[in-house]
Amino acid sequence: MGSPKILVVDDDPSIRTLIHRFLSKQNYQMESAEDGKTAMAIFEQFNPDLVILDVNLPDATGYTLCQDMQNRTGVFVLMLTSRSDEADKIRGFSQGADDYLTKPFSLGELEVRVGAILKRQRPVTTAEQQRLKFNNLMIDPVRREVLLEGSLVALTALEFDLLHFLASNPGRVWRRAELIQKVWDYEYVGDQRVVDVHIGQIRKKIEIDTTQPALIQTVRGVGYKFEAPEMVSGS
């Protein structure tokens, strides 16, 4: 495998150049774009592993671009914004963003976030390759696919990792901070409600009734657990 490919999309030339130069020195293959149209053209040719994407662009919103790109490939997206408002973050995550960085940010923090996201590309170990089956729900870590009633469930990379982690430890209750450490894979300094947002997104896709979730249950005052309805051994 060659070094990961990263596309930076930001209309501010100073930020774009700063990120481009900094990550180039970390041996990433870099491309950059100043607007949505250019970004999509480069995206098609370059096929990046990660897109660092500004929310506010002259001809598009980062939210729309995030969805367009993820509809084409399973690309990771790190949203970049000057907005620190919680509603904006929630919107970003609900559109499929894997992480969120608010301007101004330090290059050190950017490096940690990028490294943590790209680590999710690592090949799964033999122990992790086992498919998990729960009645009509099947989770396949090798193909990174989730099937419900035989139909494919469209999950983002982070939603898949979170669901797979919880389902690999059925019945165990996890605090939000523990989930961030295990799934996000770094010390997350932001609002831990980011976990709630992703759990909410997964529930919309796999639960029959999101008001009374049967699979991913909330343990009040603690966190979350995956309750296996009927575990069938993986094959």
Q: What is the pLDDT at residue 197?
A: 87
Contact, 164 vs 171, CB < 8 A?
A: no
| pLDDT score recorded for residue 31 | 96
Write down the pLDDT at residue 217. 94
**Contact (CB, 8 A) for 161 and 121:** no
Q: Is the pLDDT of residue 70 over 50?
A: yes
For the entire predicted model, the pTM comes to 0.61
Give the pLDDT mean for 17-33. 95
Query: Which residue did the predictor score with more confidence, 48 or 122?
Result: 48
Amino acid identity for residue 96 in this structure: G
Residues 6+ apart with CB under 8 A from 145: 139, 152
The whole-number pLDDT of residue 189 equals 58
pLDDT at site 116 = 85
> How large a percentage of the chain has pLDDT more than 90?
43
Q: Which residue has the higher pLDDT, 207 or 194?
A: 207
Q: Which of 13-17, 50-54, 89-93, 179-183 has the lowest mean pLDDT?
A: 89-93
pLDDT value of residue 162: 92
- In this prediction, residue 193 has a pLDDT band, given cuts at 50, 70 and 90, of confident
Which domains does the chain possess? 5-121 (3.40.50.2300), 126-232 (1.10.10.10)
User: How confident is the model over 95-138, as pLDDT tens digits?
Assistant: 778 888 888 889 998 998 898 888 876 555 555 578 888 888 99
Which residue(s) pair with 53 in the sheet?
9, 79
